[in-house]
Structure 1
Amino acid sequence: MGHPTLSITCTDLSFAWPDGTPVLDGFQLAVGPGRTGLIGLNGAGKSTLLKLIGGELTPGGGTVRVAGEIGYLPQNAVLDTALRVDEVLGIAEARAALHAIEAGDTGEEHFAAVGDDWDLEERARAGLDGLGLGHVGLDQVVGELSGGECVLLRLAALLLRRPDVLLLDEPTNNLDLQARRRLQAAVAAWNGVLVVVSHDRELLRHVDKIAELRDGGVRWYGGDIAAYEEALAVEQEAAERTLRAAESDVRRQKRELADAHVKLARRVRYGQKMYDSKREPRAVMKQRKRQAQESAGKHRILHTERLAEARERLDEAVEAVRDDDEIRVDLPHTVVPAGRTVLTLCSLRTAYGAPAGNLEVRGPERIALVGRNGAGKTTLLRTISGELPAAAGEVEAHVPLRFLPQRLDILDDELSVAANVARFAPQATANRIRASLARFLFRGGRADRQAGALSGGERFRASLAALMLAQPAPQLLLLDEPTNSLDLASVRQLTTALASYEGALIVASHDLPFLRGIGITRWLRLDAGGLAGVEPM
């Protein structure tokens, strides 16, 4: 059997942003048939790479070749709210011609518009149904759909065209649990070529291979995300062993070099002593002295070279071990005693008329707030935080609270990370702010970076630091979809950070592995009837 034709080939690909910041340089990639999960740290260039493959961006150098038609679903595409569903699906013209023919108009142009696609309405409806959009009519307008439904509608439009290559960029970001499951099923059933950029572990369980974009190149791992993590753990264990061996080798070479210096000095002294005591003819003595010095010198050079080589190996070993620092949030002022009442909602109705009802949060509870898109979770969190006034009922927070919105717009882009934190903690000294920022992985010069220049993951860490280090310290933290647009390493860091936070938490999220990872103690669903407890998911 011959090799299957490669579907995507990038050769010597280069791309830089208009300000000269390089993203890819001399980049090589070959993607064959099957489902590929493309992962990497925030800012590694994953979305840029998809745009280059999809033809949305022009490379600075090199070539991109794709065999077949491309379907590309960008990360945050906004649909025109006035468009009809059949227009988004790309079937409006053919559908109008079909209806004209059915009504008795036999104009040649109608038959040309329909072509052989007589079952296009049935196919369109089946496609919508398969993604859980069976209730959406072809004549409806986009403005009547939720954000998650719009994402699925765009996907339905792509699938209807039956592309050979499907590119998906963070497709589950704004989807609720049901929509995520529909999308996972569509990915699992896809039998063409698929490249999906995602940090969603549930979705990445449905891919055949993982491509990791790191340090300007791609490394391939067979299997899904679990197989990747297993392979990476084995790789890192070996890298750490190599690092320990390289460190002890450097120590040994340093000792041997020091010994060589001592031997050299000893030989020089001995040669001089023999020369001074003139026990043998002068010419012989001179020759002996020179030989001793040469031999010791060679010995020293050999050990200097060995030490340099050992240091080089150590540098390589350090490079191979990943810097997976974890955020630490061991802040004493955030502790909530078990019996304390933290928050009370009484007959609450939010600004947009949605009922929330009654709720009491006690002690360091960890509450997951789940529900469909558009159920009002963000509105409820904004009402609890005091950003929105309640339409009816009462909200009473009994402890200091902070709210981290989805948009991460609490930072001033013109200020540095340290200056942003200082806004929230005006009494804190610069030294205390910097010491605290180091816990959030902003060490040294990183604390002086402008907020506007941060990647998604860095921006999230800076926002979290600003809230956590605020005065008074928050004993209740409200988080709205915190893992959206975070890479896997940042999600892991956030999970660890929240595990060490000792206050109460209310987290709105559709990311089940993350919610399980932070030790949720109570699950609440928000729907048209208000808040209700549900079984752990």
Structure 2
Amino acid sequence: MSPAILISDLTFSWPDGEPVFDGLDLVLGTGRTALIGTNGSGKSTLLRLVAGALTPARGTVRVEGTLGYLPQDLTLDAGRPVDDVLGIAATRRALAAVERGDADPVHYTTIGDDWDVDDRARETLDRFGLGHVGLDRPVGALSGGEAVLLGLAGQLLRRPGVLVLDEPTNNLDRAARERLYATVAAWSGVLLLVSHDRELLDLADQVAELHDGGLRLFGGSFSEYEHALAVEQEAAQRAVRAAESDVRRQKRELADAHVTLARRVRFGQKKWDTKREPKAIMNQRKREAQVSAGKYRGLHEDRLASALDRLTSAEDAVRDDATIRVDLPATAVPALRRVAVVRDAVLRNGARIDLDVYGPERIALLGANGSGKTTLLSALAGRLPAERGEVDVAVPVRLLPQRLDVLDDDLSIVANVHRLAPEAGDNAIRARLARFLFRGARAQRPVGSLSGGERFRATLAALMLAEPAPQLLLLDEPTNNLDLASTRQLGEALAAYQGALVVASHDLGFLHTLGITRWLRLDGALSESDPPAA
């Protein structure tokens, strides 16, 4: 059969009973499909179900063809050799045994038709800029971005007909992203990917959107999907305005109906009082008037109820993207106050750093994978001392790391914030968490149950609400776990942050939304850089 992903009546809930999917159907054949949706909508969960890492409560998930799966949270044992991660270690051992003259049939079974496995591995590694990586080398020596590319290379060596990628551009520098784009553009099988990278999403042949528990397919790239959605939402807004106008009209007509009925009652009572007709006729007229009035009033009430129903339906079609709000005055730093200084410092990777940070400037930190961006941020945060030199920070500082390992998975969001702000009252913390879209019972959810984007928001909330409030905020690849709507929301939120900001990111589009005042590039040493094109 041709490679395909076949999903029928898929139902899945978390152990706490919270539903994720109920009766989901999807068929994907040859082509590139971008799976999108807000954080928490179930994107990564669906990919894990396709990969067999989770079991549905009801329904079926079937993959026709060999499956390659690259998870978002790829973790590799630092001591594992590269060939083991690539999945070719056993084949290489069998080849080495045969070359030594060992004719055990087990070796030939292990090798199969893969006699050129070393050449294929080297060719695949070269394609991803990893030609310098030895097959016997431990993966602990690789950077985060190199580890992601290595994981992808391992999946491609399996010759999959179906490839599933979850945020594959995380931790990748620009050159590595270009290699990934080329691989995706040339893919001829079934590809299902989740990403916040617009350039990658625009390589898709169709977009599958998870929204309100359902799934819709749009033909075309992500940009074409955005255009179609904008047209749809514009029509939905017009429908709301028309429905609101109709409701106002029906309310006026109902009020007019009440006035008309009141006049009829007064007129009928006046005739009754004057008794110009026999009593039996008067009673009959009164009963007929009451029936007629009831029908008249009911007609207008039904029209109003129908108008309200149409308004509700129209409003349901309009999307309401909630916005993160960061408006904490305690984070403000006076202009030109020096908040951090790095002098004659040498980082662990040998990079030499001289840097002054003033409030409330916004610094973008650029550089290839392995250039030392994360190490520099860790040094500024006091987590990792420089090999030598001076690193001095004069204000409260907080670091939002790539791995989002700041919070305790077993504690609720509220309890985690309490750890960083022990003097704050529960009501005050809940009110502040609402700014980060954690309201009511959602603030009590354990951190371990959150999606990648929700965990990011919870971590950002905990750091921003910590006491004392951070006047120097360090962000290390902050958009890695965010969908596109959340990335936009974060940019808007940070626009209101009044402290000094240092951001390491390969997401140029995001950086350009922050009002960056200084661009720095780390490449052996730190130097000023011109703003790159978005």
Distance of 1:252 and 1:171 partners within structure 2: 53
How big is each residue's C-alpha offset from its partner over 1:356-391, in whole Å with a ceiling of 9 and x where there is no partner?
421112343211122333333223212212233444
> 1:209-228 maps to which residues of 2 (within 5 A)?
209-228=206-225
Deviation at residue 111 of structure 1 after TM alignment? 5.0
2:349·2:372 contact (CA, 8 Å) conserved in 1?
no
Give 2:148's aligned residue.
151
Amino acid at match of 2:331: T
Give me the whole-angstrom Cα distance separating, in 2, the residues matched to 1:470 and 1:150: 33
- Of 304, 307, 315, the match for 2:304: 307
Counterparts of 1:43 and 1:254, CA distance in 2: 40
Indicate the SS of the match to 2:370: coil
Change (3 A) 1:415 1:226: same
State the Cα RMSD in Å: 2.8
In the alignment, which residue of structure 2 is the partner of 1:279?
Answer: 276
Instruction: Among all aligned residue pairs of Structure 1 and Structure 2, give the percentage whose two residues are the same amino acid.
Output: 65
Q: Which runs of 5+ in 2 are unaligned?
A: none
Alignment pair present for 1:387 and 2:377: no
**Counterpart of 1:19 in 2: which secondary structure?**
coil
Secondary structure of the 1:359 match is strand
Residues 480-519 of structure 1: pairs in structure 2 closer than 5 A: 480-519=476-515
Amino acid at match of 1:244: R
Does the CA contact (< 8 Å) of 1:41 and 1:489 recur in 2? yes
In 2 relative to 1, CA 398–86 (structure 1 residues): closer, same or farther, beyond 3 Å? closer
SS in structure 1 opposite 2:234?
Answer: helix
What amino acid sits opposite 1:265 in the alignment? A
- Aligned equivalents of 1:117, 1:418: Cα separation in 2: 54
- Say which of 192, 208, 211 aligns to 1:195: 192
* Residues 12 and 89 of structure 1: CA distance in aligned 2, closer, same or farther (over 3 Å): same
**Corresponding position of 1:467:** 463
AA of the residue aligned to 1:358 = D
Q: Deviation per CA, 1:84-118: give whole Å up to 9, x if none.
A: 33333333444444445556666666555544444
Aligned ranges 1:92-131 → 2 under 5 Å: 92-99=89-96, 112-131=109-128
TM-score with structure 1 length normalisation? 0.90
Counterparts of 1:468 and 1:217, CA distance in 2: 34
* 1:208 corresponding residue in structure 2: 205
Q: Note if contact 2:364-2:505 (Cα within 8 Å) is conserved in structure 1.
A: yes
1:45 Cα offset (Å): 1.5
5+ residue gaps in structure 1?
Answer: none
The corresponding residue for 1:56 is: 53
Distance 2:295 2:334 in 1: 69
CA contact (8 A) 2:476 2:505 kept: yes
Residue 298 of structure 1: CA displacement?
A: 0.8
Deviations 1:311-350 (A, max 9, x none): 2222222221112122233444434444332322111234
| 2:31 maps to 1:34 | yes
Deviation of 1:284 after TM superposition, in Å, equals 2.8
Question: What does residue 85 of structure 2 align with?
Answer: 88
Q: Distance in 2 between matches of 1:80 and 1:425?
A: 35
Task: Measure the CA separation in 2 of the matches of 1:68 and 1:139.
Answer: 30
Range moving further from structure 2, 414-423 or 60-69: 414-423
2: CA distance, partners of 1:467 / 1:235? 38
Counterpart code for 2:369: N
**Separation of aligned partners in 2, 1:452 and 1:70:** 28
Query: How far 1:61 sits from its partner (Å)?
Result: 1.2
Alignment partner, residue 372 of structure 2: 376
CA distance in structure 2 between the partners assigned to 1:495 and 1:442 by the alignment: 18
- After the TM superposition, which residues 294-333 of structure 1 pair with which residues of structure 2 at under 5 Å, given as runs? 294-333=291-330
Contact preservation (8 Å) 2:3, 2:162? no
Q: Deviations over 1:210-255 (max 9, x none)?
A: 1111122111222222222222222222222222222222222222
Deviation at 1:297, TM superposition (A): 0.8
1:513 is paired with a residue whose SS is: helix
Indicate the residue corresponding to 1:525 in structure 2.
Answer: 521
Structure 1 residue 414: deviation in Å? 6.1
Counterpart-to-counterpart distance in 1, 2:139 and 2:440: 48
**C-alpha contact 1:369 1:507 (8 A) present in aligned 2:** yes
Structure 1 counterpart of 2:485, which letter?
Answer: A
Residue-by-residue CA offset, 1:135-157 (whole Å, 9 max, x unaligned): 12233333333333232222212
Matched position secondary structure for 1:167: strand
User: Which residue in 2 is equivalent to 1:177?
Assistant: 174
Query: Which residue in the other structure is 2:264 paired with?
Result: 267
Greater displacement, 207-216 / 358-367? 358-367
Contact 2:67–2:163 under 8 Å retained in 1 = yes
- 1:481 positional shift: 1.8
Structure 1 residues 267, 423: closer, same or farther in 2, change over 3 A?
Answer: farther
Gap change, CA 1:105 and 1:334, over 3 Å in 2: closer
User: What SS is found at the alignment partner of 1:36?
Assistant: strand
In 2, distance between residues paired with 1:451 and 1:98? 47
Letter in 2 for 1:254: K
Is 1:359 the equivalent of 2:355?
yes
- Is 1:239 aligned to residue 214 of structure 2? no
Tell me, yes or no, if the aligned pair for 1:95 and 1:120 is still in contact at 8 Å.
Answer: yes
Tell me, yes or no, if the aligned pair for 2:456 and 2:481 is still in contact at 8 Å.
no
Q: Name the CA shift for 1:449/1:244 in 2 (closer, same or farther; >3 Å).
A: farther
Aligned residue-pair number:
532
SS at match of 2:65: coil
